[in-house]
Amino acid sequence: MGWAIALHGGAGDISPSIPPERRQPREAALRHCLQIGVDALKAQKSPLDVVELVVRELENNPHFNAGKGSVLTTEGTVEMEACIMDGKTKKCGAVSGLTTVVNAISLARVVMEKTPHIYLAFDGAEKFAREQGLETVDSSHFITPANIERLKQFKEANRVQIDCAQPVEKDVKKETPTGDGDSPIGTVGCVAVDNDGNLAAATSTGGFVNKMVGRIGDTPIIGAGTYANNLCAVSATGRGEAIIRGTVARDVAALMEFKGLSLKDAAACVVEERVPRDNVGLVAVSAKGEVTMPFNTTGMYRASATEDGYTEFGIWPSVEN
Beta carbon of residue 88, minimum distance to ligand ASP (angstroms, whole number): 26
Residue 159 assigned as binding residue = no
Residue closer to ligand ASP (CB basis): 26 or 289? 26
Determine if residue 217 is labeled as part of a ligand binding site. yes
Query: Would you give the DSSP letter of residue 189?
Result: E
Between residues 37 and 186, which has the closer beta carbon with respect to ligand ASP? 186
Please check whether residue 281 is in contact with residue 237, taking contact to mean a CB–CB distance below 8 angstroms: yes
239 annotated to bind ligand:
yes
> 297 catalytic, yes or no?
no
Q: Does 219 bind ligand ASP (CB under 6 A)?
A: yes
Report the residue number whose CB is nearest to ligand ASP. 240
Q: How many whole angstroms separate alpha carbon 207 and alpha carbon 184?
A: 10
Among 198, 205, 292, 304, binds ligand ASP (CB under 6 A): 205
Q: 297: closest CA among 157, 146, 148, 187?
A: 187
Candidates 9, 69, 97, 240: give the one binding ligand ASP (CB under 6 A): 240
Give the whole-angstrom CA distance, residue 161 versus residue 169.
Answer: 14
**Selected binder of ligand ASP within 64, 128, 142, 208 (CB under 6 A):** 208
**241 contacts: CB under 8 Å, gap ≥ 6:** 164, 165, 217, 218
**9 interacts with ligand ASP by CB under 6 A:** no
Smaller CB separation from ligand ASP, 37 or 281: 281
Identified catalytic residue from 176, 178, 187, 297: 187
Among 238, 246, 289, 299, binds ligand ASP (CB under 6 A): 238
Rounded to whole angstroms, what are the CA distances from 121 to 99, 216, 306?
11, 10, 35
Q: Does residue number 10 form part of the binding site for ligand ASP (CB under 6 A)? A: yes
Site string for ligand ASP, 41-80 (x = CB under 6 A): ------------------------x---------------
**Distance (Å, rounded) from C-alpha 78 to C-alpha 143?**
7
Which of 178, 187, 235, 247 touches ligand ASP (CB under 6 A)? Answer: 187
* Residue 261 CB neighbour total at 10 angstroms: 17
User: Using the rule CB under 6 A, which residue among 98, 168, 185, 234 binds ligand ASP?
Assistant: 185
Q: Which residue intervals of the chain are DSSP H helices?
A: 20-42, 47-59, 104-114, 122-131, 145-156, 161-165, 170-173, 240-245, 248-259, 263-269
Torsion angle defined by CA atoms of residues 258, 259, 263 and 269, in that order, rounded to the nearest 10 degrees: -110
In angstroms, what is the minimal distance from the CB of 197 to ligand ASP?
Answer: 27
Contact 131, 114 (CB under 8 A): no
- The interface mask with ligand ASP, positions 280-309, x = CB under 6 A, is ------------------------------
CA distance 256 to 265: 9
To ligand ASP, the closest distance from the beta carbon of 176 in angstroms equals 13
For residue 1, count other CB atoms closer than 10 A to its CB.
14
Q: Which residues bind ligand ASP (CB under 6 A)?
A: 10, 65, 185-187, 205, 207-208, 217-219, 225, 237-240, 243
Active site residues: 187
